[in-house]
Structures are given as C-alpha cells and as structure tokens.
C-alpha cells in the first residue's frame, strides 16, 4: 500500500539542496503530490508531500533522506499523512481564493497580526505569504520608501464584511490593505483609467485657474463641496467655470508646466506601457491639461472637458457634454469595448465622489488618496504610497519593475 509522508526540510540555503533531496526520492520511484519552497533571510524551508510506492518500504527512503539532510547541515521532519487527510486536502482545492495586499512605508508586526486575526476570524486558510517589495536597509536613506506583503488566502469569504474590517485597521494603523479575488482576470488586466486632478497630479486645475483669475476662494469652496459629494457635479462644475470668465488663455501653458505630477505616476505608467497595458485619462477637468499630461507621460487616451475660448479669452463655458461621474463610467465601458476586453480586465483610479461610478464597474477599482466617502465605497484604496503602489495590487514585485 502506498504510504503518504510529509517531509519538511529547514536550514541554511545554498545551491543544490532541493536537487539532492529529490534525487534520493527518485531512486525509490516516489511520486510528489505537493511541493513548496520558501527562502527567508538565506534560510530554506522546503516541504514535500511524498507518495512512497508499496514496492519500496518507507524506512529506507526516509533513512537516506535523513542521512543526506545531516550531510548537508539541514534539519528534517517526517509526518505520516492518512488517506482521509489527503482526500480532505484535495477536496479543498475548489474553494475561492483571495489576495490580501498590505502596503505601507514600513511593515510593522501589528499590521500583520491584525490582518491575520481577521483572516482567522472568517475561517480562511493562508496558503502563501510573499514580500513583493525590495529588501529594506536598516538605515533608510530614501524618504519615499515602499513596503508590501501579499497574502494568498483560501475559503469562503464575506467580502463586504472583511473589506470593512480591513479599512478600519488601515485607518487606525496608517497603512493600506487591498482585498481582491484571485481569479484569471487579476492576471489579465489590460486597461488602466485615471482621474486627473488630485490623482495623476497633486492639484485641482480649476483651483489653479481660479487663483489666476482672482476667484480662488470662491471656486475652492465649491470644489471641496463637490468632491465630498455634497453638490451635484455638473451644477457645481458650471458654477466654477462661470467664475473663470475673462481669464486670458495665455496663462494655461504656465499652469500646465507647473502642475506637480503625483508620486509614483511616471514609474507606474512607464511600467504599464512596457507590460503592454493601455492607459487613459477620464477627467472632469480640462482637455488642455489632459493632453499636456498625455504628451508628458505617454497616456494613450484623454477624455475631459473642452474649455471654451473666444479671442484667447475664457468665456466661462465648456463645449460638448460635461464629463461627470456617469460619463466616466460610460467612457470606461466604451474603451473596454474598443480594446476588445471585458470590464473585469479594466482598472479605474480616482479620488473623488464623481469617480465612484467608474470605480464600481471596473475589474479593479482603486480610491487613491481619496476622501473618506470614496474610500468607504470603493473596493480598494491606496493612501500611504504613491501611484506605483498599484503595481503591487497587480502582483508585480519590485524586482520585476523598470525603475
């Protein structure tokens, strides 16, 4: 009768260890039912679930493995596995899987403890924990450091409840915790759509225009109320644009050149382009500035509002349909259709209430440095890192990324 044995090997890592152990098993025609290996700080942890055929007794096999491990300076443990236990493990493979991503400037034990406590509370199993960020020196020389750990969990999850719990922990600890299904679409995203103001750039363009027109305080007040969801976007937008009447168009270029690009935006888009993603700006702002960013960053599509000018002077109106929240969602659908992809393969990123419609229909919706209302209603949020933190949510490691 075939014997099932779990072999666990630990010790200082060096080349050839896995080869040496598996070569012994091969001599006895052992079947490998499962295998996993991890290396942490030059320390190896190797697990092999072995099926030893009846024609080969387990004692000689395990004795040879034990001697080889001792020769290599490794520790080894053997645990018998019953057929019933093995079948229970096999039957669990169809359970849903989710990815939990912890993002911060530095990873503290408290964050790990709080996340794993929630996982345990919901009866989920942690299959893997991986560090996606690079190795962190003890003495930090860079201001904008990045740290990220990814958990792969298995089991039936109450997604809305867990997201609310993760958001509470994130707010209390000043970290970000993303929670998403681990399915085929997570690995086949193809289109990323960004809001512009306070997302791709660290400014609200209409506020900059208002300051140039001498109506900064009036417009800023309306802008804030609109972003908090207190005012209808189109009405508030028309009120703000009307206040710009009489502004000289000559100031637009100077404002565009001074717009601060958000931390991580250039790194993110450079890598998305290299990986074959399409990118778009879907903005309730203005085309002039969207096109400026398109040229600067290499964005594929831009959809925003056209500021009407007469004789080089702003009229206080826009031409065409205003790009509000509903229009952003429509544009996301249209671009997905144009690119021949499903909505599940899209990503939407924004910070304001008018971004929620597109965040809700995208395969991955991310509230970026967003208002509390948006963070609470979006499925995922990033507030502690720059835009390039999105690469972690896609499963990329720092070593995979172009600097």
Q: Which of 195, 207, 324, 355 is catalytic?
A: 195
Listed in sequence order, the residues at least 6 apart from 215 whose beta carbon sits closer than 8 Å to its beta carbon are 243, 244
Active-site residue flag, 195: yes
Active-site residue flag, 197: yes
> 352: closest CA among 263, 252, 293, 282?
282
Rg (CA), the chain: 27
Listed in sequence order, the residues at least 6 apart from 373 whose beta carbon sits closer than 8 Å to its beta carbon are 228, 229, 353
> 379: closest CA among 227, 233, 238, 177?
177
> 281: closest CA among 272, 293, 271?
293
Q: Which of 197, 207, 324, 388 is catalytic?
A: 197
Please report which residue ranges of 152-298 form alpha helices under DSSP H. 159-173, 205-213, 216-227, 233-242, 251-258, 265-274, 287-297
Helix (H) or strand (E) segment spanning residue 153: strand 147-154
| Collapsed DSSP state (helix, strand, coil) of residue 326 | helix
Helix (H) or strand (E) segment spanning residue 332: helix 325-339
Give the residue numbers annotated as catalytic, written as ranges: 195, 197
């Amino acid at each position: 009768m075939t014997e099932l044995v779990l072999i666990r090997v630990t010790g200082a890592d060096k080349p050839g260890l896995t080869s040496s152990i598996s070569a012994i098993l091969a001599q006895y025609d052992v079947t490998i039912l499962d295998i996993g290996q991890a290396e942490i700080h030059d320390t190896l942890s190797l697990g092999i679930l072995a099926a030893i055929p009846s024609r080969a007794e387990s004692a000689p096999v395990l004795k040879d493995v034990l001697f080889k491990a001792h020769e290599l300076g490794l520790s080894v443990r053997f645990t018998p596995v019953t057929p019933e236990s093995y079948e229970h493990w096999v039957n669990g493979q169809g359970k849903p899987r989710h990815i939990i991503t912890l993002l911060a400037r530095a990873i503290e034990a408290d964050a790990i403890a709080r996340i794993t406590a929630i996982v345990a509370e919901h009866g989920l199993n942690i299959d893997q924990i991986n560090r996606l960020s690079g190795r962190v020196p003890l003495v930090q020389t860079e201001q904008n450091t990045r740290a990220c750990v990814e958990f792969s969990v298995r089991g039936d999850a109450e997604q809305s409840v867990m997201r609310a719990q993760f958001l509470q922990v994130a707010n209390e600890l000043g970290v970000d915790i993303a929670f998403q299904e681990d399915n085929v679409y997570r690995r086949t995203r193809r289109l990323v759509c960004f809001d512009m103001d306070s997302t791709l750039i660290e400014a609200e363009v209409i506020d900059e225009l208002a300051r140039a027109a001498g109506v900064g305080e009036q417009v800023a007040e309306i802008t804030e109320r609109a972003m908090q969801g207190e005012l209808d976007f189109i009405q508030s937008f028309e009120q703000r644009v009307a206040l710009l009447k009489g502004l000289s168009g000559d100031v637009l270029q100077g404002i565009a050149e001074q717009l601060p690009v958000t931390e991580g935006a250039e790194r993110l888009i450079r890598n998305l382009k290299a990986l074959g993603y399409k990118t778009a700006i879907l903005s309730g702002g203005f085309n002039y500035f969207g096109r400026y960013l398109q040229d600067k960053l290499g964005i594929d599509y831009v959809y925003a509002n056209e500021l009407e000018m007469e004789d080089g002077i702003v009229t206080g109106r826009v031409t065409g349909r205003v790009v509000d929240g509903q229009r952003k969602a429509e544009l996301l659908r249209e671009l997905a259709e144009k690119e021949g992809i499903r909505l599940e393969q899209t990503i939407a990123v924004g910070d304001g209430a008018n971004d929620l419609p597109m965040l809700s229909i995208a395969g991955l919706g991310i509230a970026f440095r967003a208002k509390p209302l948006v963070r609470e209603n979006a499925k995922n949020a990033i507030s502690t890192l720059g835009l390039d933190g999105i690469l972690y949510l896609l499963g990329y490691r720092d070593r995979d990324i172009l600097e």
